[in-house]
Every structure is written in structure tokens, then in C-alpha cells.
Amino acid sequence: QKEVEQNSGPLSVPEGAIASLNCTYSDRGSQSFFWYRQYSGKSPELIMSIYSNGDKEDGRFTAQLNKASQYVSLLIRDSQPSDSATYLCAVKAGGSYIPTFGRGTSLIVHP
């Protein structure tokens, strides 16, 4: 059974702070990792993908992957109230095109 675990939160940070969202996964064969943002009642929106160990930066977002520890994280710098949403971690194993989703972490950025 492939598992993707996330703390459900809510994670509450002040505006301008760094928000750190974490995800662990059980399948060592996983090769692709995605972070989606989902506003309440809306569809998941892809914000980051990462495939190799290390950091990947895109604007205010940085994804970090550590395959040895089976851990992937998302950092959001200079958090804004508009970043308040649920962040879904999704992991794809090497032999499948189907990502397994975590339950998501609720992020609240307060002014």
C-alpha cells in the first residue's frame, strides 16, 4: 500500500513569514513528486514538481526532496494571505503514471 502522509494542520503563519509544509512517502521506488494548491471547493492546481534530490526554486516557492529519507517539503517565502489554502503532496512511483495524494495540509496566513 503506497502511503503519502501529511500533517493536516492547520499551519498558521503571519504574513511575510516562511511557511514550511512537509510530506513523507512510503514507496522507495517513487520518482516524481508534486505539490498542488487547493482552495476550498476548487480543483488542485499544480505549483511545483521535483524529480531529483535537492532544492528546486520557483519564485517564492522552494521544493526540497530527500529520497533517502523519503521526504519532500515545500517552503513558501514571504507568505501572503492569498496563500491560505490546502497544499496537497502527490507522489508517483516509477512504474505508474498515477500519483498518490496525501490528505493535504491546511495553511492559514494571517495579516
Partner 1 sequence: EPEVTQTPSHQVTQMGQEVILRCVPISNHLYFYWYRQILGQKVEFLVSFYNNEISEKSEIFDDQFSVERPDGSNFTLKIRSTKLEDSAMYFCASRHPGQLGKNIQYFGAGTRLSVL
Asked if 13 is part of the footprint of partner 1 (rule: CB under 8 A), the reply reads no
Minimum CB separation from partner 1 for residue 9, in Å?
Answer: 13
Please give the grid coordinates belonging to residue 39.
482552495
**Cβ nearer to partner 1, comparing 28 with 42:** 42
Taken in order 95, 34, 27, 6, the sign of the CA dihedral is negative
Whether the link from the prior residue into 10 is cis, omega within 30° of 0, is yes
Per-residue interface string for the shown chain with partner 1, residues 24-63, x marking contact by CB under 8 A:
--------x-x-x-----xxxxx--x-x------------
Residues 6+ apart with CB under 8 A from 82: 109
Residues that bind partner 1 (CB under 8 A): 32, 34, 36, 42-46, 49, 51, 88, 90, 92, 96-104
